[in-house]
Structure 1
C-alpha cells in the first residue's frame, strides 16, 4: 500500500512540475506573441508567469525540498559576518597593488625575454 502511495505521489509531483514548466513556457511564448503591447506589460506578464510557476512547483515534494534549501541558505547568509567598509577598502587596495606589481613584473619579463630571443636569433 505504501508503494502505491509513493508511486502516486511521485506521479503527481512530476505532473505538478510539468505544469510549472508549461506555465513558464507559456509566459515566454506570450512575451514574444504579444508584441503590440509595451515591453513593460510583457515583462510584467513574464514575471507573473514565473511567480505562478514557482508557486505551483512548491506544491511538489521536490519544490518543498528546494524551498527548504533556499530558507536554509537565507539563514546562513544572515549568520555571515560581513567586513566593514574600512576592511573592504583595505583589501581592495591590496589586491589592486598586487595586481599592479605582477603586471609590471610580467611586462619586464616579457621585455627581457623578447630582447634575449632577439639577441639569440641575431635580429638585434
Structure 2
C-alpha cells in the first residue's frame, strides 16, 4: 500500500508536456524520420547504380 502511495506522489510531481509541445516534438521526429529515409533511399540508389555500372548488370 505504501508503495502505491509513493508512486502516486511521484506521478503528481511529474511535469507533463503540453499538448502543443507534444505535437511539435512528434512533428519534428516524423519530419526527421522522413528526411532520413529519403536520404538513405537516394544513397542506396546511387550505390546500386554504381554497382550495376561497375559489373555491367541490369538494363
Task: Tell me if TM exceeds 0.5.
Answer: yes
Match of 2:6 among 54, 72, 75: 72
* Distance across 2 between alignment mates of 1:84 and 1:111: 41
TM-score (norm 1): 0.43
Q: What are the Cα deviations for residues 11-67 of structure 1, in whole angstroms up to 9, with x where unaligned?
A: xxxxxxxxxxxxxxxxxxxxxxxxxxxxxxxxxxxxxxxxxxxxxxxxxxxxxxxx4
Give every structure 1 segment of 4 or more consecutive aligned residues whose post-TM-superposition deviation is greater than 3 Å. Answer: 67-70
Query: Higher RCO, 1 or 2 (CA under 8 Å, sep at least 6)?
Result: 1
Question: Shift in Å at residue 121 of structure 1?
Answer: 1.1
* Distance across 2 between alignment mates of 1:86 and 1:98: 18
After superposition, the CA RMSD in angstroms is 1.4
CA spacing shift, 1:70–1:119, aligned 2, 3 Å = farther
Unmatched segments (≥5 aa) in structure 1: 1-66
Structure 2 SS opposite 1:81:
coil
Match of 2:41 among 77, 96, 107: 107
Question: Shift in Å at residue 119 of structure 1?
Answer: 1.2
Unmatched segments (≥5 aa) in structure 2: none
TM-score (norm 2): 0.83
Question: Shift in Å at residue 120 of structure 1?
Answer: 1.3
Aligned residues: 58
1:1-124 → structure 2 map (5 Å cutoff): 67-124=1-58
Larger C-alpha radius of gyration, 1 or 2?
Answer: 1
